[in-house]
Homo-oligomer: A and B are copies of this chain.
């Protein structure tokens, strides 16, 4: 099992959710985050200007998946989240050792 985390533009969230649903994802957790992806902003001061890191509102989507769903999920996110402009976001894949469904105490692939 893997934990897939995607950080995307809020305005692409609806399309990403629909694409994930079509890819067969049945569980996900969303958080509002603030992200920096390399952009700097020139800030004018009273006696000059300086470069500051730019932060933008993003949405973080986390999904626990079994192995066969990993590539379909990534493809779904790539196609639905991309605008082609800088700042479209990132996908991270991490190992996941256990998943447990609280209602039934089922573990691992049965819990997904």
Residue in contact with A8 in the complex, picked from B27, B33, B81, B102, CB distance below 8 Å: B102
A4-43: contact bitstring with B at CB < 8 Å (1 yes, 0 no)?
A: 0011100000000100010000111111111111100000
Residue in contact with A38 in the complex, picked from B26, B58, B82, B105, CB distance below 8 Å: B26
Q: Which of A3, A30, A99, A102 has the most CB of B within 10 A?
A: A102
- What's the interface size class on A, roughly? 35 or more
Residue in contact with A90 in the complex, picked from B7, B17, B78, B111, CB distance below 8 Å: B111
Can you name the residue of chain B whose Cβ is closest to the Cβ of A9?
Answer: B102
In terms of DSSP, what is the predominant structure of the interface of chain A? strand
Residue in contact with A98 in the complex, picked from B29, B77, B88, B91, CB distance below 8 Å: B91
The answer to whether A55 and B38 touch across the interface, beta carbons within 8 angstroms, is: no
The answer to whether B96 and A91 touch across the interface, beta carbons within 8 angstroms, is: no
Is A94 part of the binding interface, using a Cβ–Cβ cutoff of 8 Å? yes
Residue in contact with A81 in the complex, picked from B26, B30, B102, CB distance below 8 Å: B102
- The interface residues of chain B lying within 8 Å CB-to-CB of A48 are none
Can you name the residue of chain B whose Cβ is closest to the Cβ of A83?
Answer: B103
